[in-house]
Homo-oligomer: A and B are copies of this chain.
Amino acid sequence: MDPYGLRRVVSPPGALPQRAEVLDPRLPPGEDELLLDVEALNVDAASFHQIRTAAGGDPARIAGEIARIVRERGKLHNPVTGSGGMLIGRVREVGPRHPAAGRLSPGDRVASLVSLTLTPLLLERIDAVRPEVDRVECRGTAVLFASGLWARLPEDLPERLVLAALDVCGAPALVARHARPGMQVLVLGAGKSGSLVCAQAMESLGGRGRVVVADRAPEALEALRRLGICHAAVAVDATGAAAALPALMAAGGPYDLVVSCTSVPGTEMAAILPAADGGTVIFFSMATSFTAAALGAEGVGKDALLVIGNGYVPGHAELTLGLLRRHPALRAHFEERHAR
């Protein structure tokens, strides 16, 4: 038994798959592994942003870069951002000692709920790159270890919607644990995870408190305002914390809970400065710098609990799909913007 997939680590020896430089996706499947035929990759926003920028926005060059990373590393682990994404596919083989044995059968459609940074992946071809939704349609095979989470694709929701939502399902689920009625909540980023976090925060506040969302894109803010999932929307560039601070504070600060859902580097202080003393800041952005957050908070004497957004919270997939089922307008917005 090899619940963490150690036998697939090529280098460095003894590393866990997430930390490994190179994995071997070609080994025959182990008896506690799940083998999938991959159909699409949803690339992490920070990773896709970096690859798209480096490729000058050209889909063919984006595809080339993704193929190169997977060929060299045996996984889609962006060496610049350190982040991955997730995938959907059909079950090809369920090892007899995998926890899903008896619950999944060949042909079932599932999404992986663990990062592509630790998922052995072999790409045969890339069929299409969809930069507008950070997605790559492809053919290949991937392996999930016994400890790797997955979700069966529900029948009542379109697959692209499910894939896009599950990619960030840890964010609203963790916010549901931290948001309480009466809180002032600030969400940085009105994109994929930001919109789900706003909707969850509105529910968790139960009518008492305030949800403020900030983004540099006015149209994204306007969309969330129309959906009624925020009390205020502020157009600021979060990479310039000092310049952004007055507008963020005027909208309802200081904030008991700040949730960073940006996809660009350098937004740590825009999350930390507006937090209330004794407040909590949760970082979901994969572009977050550990030292910038730790030393930045200390540097300005801010007593806030700084949380690394753990992508796993029990029940996160169902919580997120439930949000979309309960909010048809949010679902339509999400499909239009993040799941085309």
Please give the residue numbers on chain A whose beta carbons come within 8 Å of chain B beta carbons, in ascending order.
4, 6, 14-19, 81-84, 113-115, 117-118, 147-149, 170, 240-243, 266, 268-269, 283, 286, 288-314
Contact = CB atoms under 8 A, between A and B. Distances in A.
A239 to B, nearest CB: 8
9 contacts: A14-B242, A15-B240, A19-B268, A113-B298, A114-B298, A117-B299, A118-B299, A289-B290, A297-B310
Lowest 9 A-B CB distances belong to which pairs? A298-B311, A82-B291, A306-B308, A115-B295, A298-B312, A118-B299, A14-B240, A290-B290, A297-B310
A311 B297 contact: yes
Given A4-B242, A16-B242, A19-B266, A115 B311 contact: no
B290 A18 contact: no
A82 to B, nearest CB: 4
Number of copies: 2
B295 A83 contact: yes
B307 A307 contact: yes
A83 B310 contact: no
Contacts of A297: 310-312
The secondary structure that dominates the A interface is loop
Contacts of A289: 82, 290
Contacts of A19: 266, 268-269, 292, 296
B117 A295 contact: yes
A306 B289 CA distance: 14
A328 to B, nearest CB: 29
A299 to B, nearest CB: 4
Contacts of A307: 305-308
> Max chain B CB contacts within 10 Å: which of A18, A82, A147, A243?
A18
Contact of A16 (B84, B269, B283, B312): B269
Given A170-B298, A303-B314, 19 more contacts: A16-B299, A17-B299, A19-B268, A82-B290, A82-B295, A83-B291, A113-B298, A114-B301, A115-B295, A117-B295, A147-B299, A147-B300, A148-B299, A286-B290, A289-B290, A297-B310, A297-B311, A298-B311, A305-B310
